[in-house]
Structure 1
Amino acid sequence: MVPDHLNRVWLKARDRLRRPGAGILLGTTSTLLLVLSLVGFSAEKSTEQGARKPSLLDLLDEVARDAEQKEAPPGLPPEVPKAASWSSPLARQCSGIDQSMRKRLLSKRRKLAQLRQSIPADPTNYGDRFRSNPWGQPIDPAPRVVVLHETVYSLTSALNTFLTPHPRDEDQVSYHTLVGLDGSIVDVVDPLKRAYGAGYSAFLGEWAVTNSEFDGSVNNFALHLSLETPDDGQGRTGNHSGYTAAQYDALALVLDGWLERFEIDPAAITTHRHVDLGGARADPRSFSWSDLQQRLAALGTMCHS
C-alpha cells in the first residue's frame, strides 16, 4: 500500500500532467513516483519492524536449506565414529598482554576491510548449509567450530584449484579464507555457505551427513581457514619452518571477527589433523598455538568469561 503523503503527491502531479504540453514529463514523473513509493514503503516497513538488524538465525534461514526432497535412503543415518577428545591449547588470559602487539593489531583491525580481498571460488566447490539430512532429520547449520589448515603448496596454487570447476563431488574442495605468507587475506567462500574443507571428519563426537552417498563431515557447521605453506614445506611430509608473524596477525584478526560474529568459543578452534577421521591429514604442520594465544589475548578475545 502506498502511504497517504505519496498519494497526495500523485494527485498534484496528475493535475499538472493534464495540462497541455505536460505529456513529455509523464514517463519521468511516473518513474519518480514509483521510486518514491518504494522508498516510502521501505521506510514505513522499517519503522514498523523497528529497523531490527538480522540475527545469525535470520541470515542462516536465507542461505541454509533443507536436504533435497528425494526418497529417504533406507535405514538410519550412519553413526559418528569415535573421535579423539579435544583439549584446546588456548587458555583464558586477561593479563600479561603485549601492549605493542595490541596497538599493532588494533591498528590493523581498523583497516581490516581494506586489507581483505574477495576471490570467490567456483560454485561447484562450495554449497549451502543444510538444515536437515537426507533422512529428513534436522541438523544445525550454525557455524560453531573453526578448522585450521595449510595450503601445502602456494596460495596461488590453492586459489587456482578453488577457481577450477569440479563437477565430481569427490574432487570438490575449498576453504572460507586463505592467509598468505605476507599476511594477505583472501576470502574465497562466504562464511554463511558450506566450504568443502574436511571430508571424513568429526568434532567432539559430531558430524553432519548431507549426502547419503558419502560419510559425514564437519563442513555443515565449520568455518575453514588455511595458512599458506612456506617454501620449505611445500609438498613434503614432516615439519617446516613455520608461519610468519604477519600470518599470525592476519589469522588472529580473522578469527577474532568470526568468534564474535558467530558466538564461537575460542576452545572450538581446532585443526584439520584433529577432525580428520581417516588419519591422513597432518595440517597445519609446525603451527604455534602460543603465537596465536598472544595475539588473541592482545585483541581481548581470550578474556571473555
Structure 2
Amino acid sequence: MNLRQRPYMVAGVAASGVLLLAGIGWLAATLGGASAGDPSQATLMELLEEVRSPPMAPRAGRRNAPAPPAPSDWTSPLAGGTCAGSGSADSPRLRAQLERLRTAPLRLRIDPSNYGTRFNRDAFGNPLDPTPRVVILHETVFGIGSAINTFLTPHPRDEDQVSYHAVIGLDGKTVLLLDPSSRAFGAGNSAFRGQWVVTNPDFNGSVNNFALHVSLETPLDGEDTGPSHSGYTPAQYDALAVLLADWMERFPISPDHITTHQAVDLGGERMDPRSFDWQALKTRLSALQAFCDRPATTTALN
C-alpha cells in the first residue's frame, strides 16, 4: 500500500507525532518542576511521593492544620505556691514515699489497643514536640478495679479506647499503667491554653500527645453523675503530690500546667475530678519543693 494513496493516514500519523512530542515535553517539565514560577504547584514526582507516603506522615508543610480554639479563662489554683523546703513537717514522709515510687514502683501492663505512641508530626505533616508538658487530673467514677479491668480489655473501636498513665486508689496506692513515652487516651476533644494536636484529619485535636494523665479512685458516694461527692483521701493527695513531683522533675511541667479534665474538655461534658481540694495538693507539693526554682531536667522520650 502506497502512503501517497492514503492522505488521511499520513495526516493522522503526523498529528500523533505532534501529540507524542507535546506529551513528552509536558512530562519532562513536570518531572523537572517546570512550574518554577508557581512554587505552590506540586510536580508529578512530588504527587507520586505523597501517594506513597503513609497517611500519618505526609510531607511537612503540605497543608495547614486547623487552628485550636481560643485559650480558655482557666486559672491554675496552684498559682502562688511557696517553696517550703525541708522545713515542712510533711517533707521527710513525702520524700521517702517519692523514693519508694522511684525504686519500687507498682506497674501493670494494659492492652495495647488502649494507648498509642506519641507523634512527631501531626496529621498534616507539621513537626511536633511530644515531650510531656501538661498533667490532666481525672477520677475513675467507679472503683479502681473496674477502671483497671477496662484498660486490660482489648477495645478495637476507637470510641471505646481509654487509658491513663497512672491511677491512685483510695488507700494511696499508685498503679503505673503507661510509661510517659506512650500516649494515653485520656482526653478526646480537648485543648490546653489554645494548644492541641490533630492526629486524625477527620476529628478535632486533643492534648493527649503532650499530656500525662492520672486518675483518682472515686469514693463510693461518687459513683453517679452528681456534681460532687465526699472527696478524696489524705493518702490519695500524698500519692498524687509524690507522682506529680516525680513528673515535674523529669519533664518541663510547671505547677500551673497541672489541670483537670473538666478544664481541657471542649465538649462541656466532663466534670472530673469532682470535689478536688487544690489546697491539699498545694501544701504537699510545697513540702516536696515542687514550687522551688530549679534547672530544667527533661527525660528524652524513646
- With the shorter chain as reference, the TM-score category is 0.7 to 0.9
Q: Which has the larger Rg?
A: 2
- Could you tell me the TM-score, scaled by structure 1's length? 0.74
- 1:157: which partner in 2? 146
Preserved contact between residue 83 and residue 290 of structure 2 (Cα < 8 Å)? no
- 2:77: which partner in 1? 89
Long gaps (5+) in structure 1:
1-65
Long gaps (5+) in structure 2:
1-53, 295-302
Confirm or deny that 1:101 pairs with 2:86: no
Confirm or deny that 1:137 pairs with 2:126: yes
**Comparing 99-108 with 186-195, which one deviates more in the overlay?**
99-108
- 1:237: which partner in 2? 226
Q: Normalized per residue, which structure has more helix?
A: 1
Deviation at 1:215, TM superposition (A): 1.2
Distance in 1 between residues matched to 2:184 and 2:134, nearest whole Å = 13
Deviation at 1:115, TM superposition (A): 5.5
Distance in 2 between residues matched to 1:107 and 1:124, nearest whole Å = 35
Distance in 2 between residues matched to 1:272 and 1:247, nearest whole Å = 18
Confirm or deny that 1:290 pairs with 2:282: no
Distance in 2 between residues matched to 1:252 and 1:232, nearest whole Å = 24
Deviation at 1:303, TM superposition (A): 2.2
- DSSP-derived class of the 1:301 partner: coil
Q: 2:56 aligns with which of 57, 65, 68?
A: 68
Over the matched positions of the two proteins, sequence identity in percent amounts to 54
- DSSP-derived class of the 1:303 partner: coil
Please tell me the residue identity of whatever aligns with 2:172.
G
Deviation at 1:218, TM superposition (A): 0.2
Distance in 1 between residues matched to 2:177 and 2:169, nearest whole Å = 13
Tell me how large the CA RMSD over aligned residues is: 2.1
Confirm or deny that 1:78 pairs with 2:66: yes
- Could you tell me the TM-score, scaled by structure 2's length? 0.74
Runs of 4+ in 1 over 6 A off after TM superposition: none
- 1:203: which partner in 2? 192
- 1:250: which partner in 2? 239
Distance in 2 between residues matched to 1:144 and 1:99, nearest whole Å = 27
Change (3 A) 1:234 1:214: same
Deviation at 1:111, TM superposition (A): 1.9
Preserved contact between residue 70 and residue 193 of structure 2 (Cα < 8 Å)? no
Preserved contact between residue 168 and residue 175 of structure 2 (Cα < 8 Å)? yes
Preserved contact between residue 168 and residue 236 of structure 2 (Cα < 8 Å)? yes
Confirm or deny that 1:189 pairs with 2:159: no
Distance in 1 between residues matched to 2:278 and 2:67, nearest whole Å = 32
Please tell me the residue identity of whatever aligns with 1:68.
M
Distance in 2 between residues matched to 1:257 and 1:154, nearest whole Å = 25
Distance in 2 between residues matched to 1:146 and 1:187, nearest whole Å = 15
Distance in 2 between residues matched to 1:282 and 1:115, nearest whole Å = 33
CA offsets 1:152-190 (integer angstroms, 9 cap, x no match): 111111101111111111211100000000000101111
- 1:276: which partner in 2? 265
CA offsets 1:278-297 (integer angstroms, 9 cap, x no match): 00000000000000000000
CA offsets 1:112-132 (integer angstroms, 9 cap, x no match): 245531112210110010011
Please tell me the residue identity of whatever aligns with 1:110.
E
Preserved contact between residue 116 and residue 184 of structure 1 (Cα < 8 Å)? no
CA offsets 1:164-221 (integer angstroms, 9 cap, x no match): 1111112111000000000001011111110000000000100000111221000000
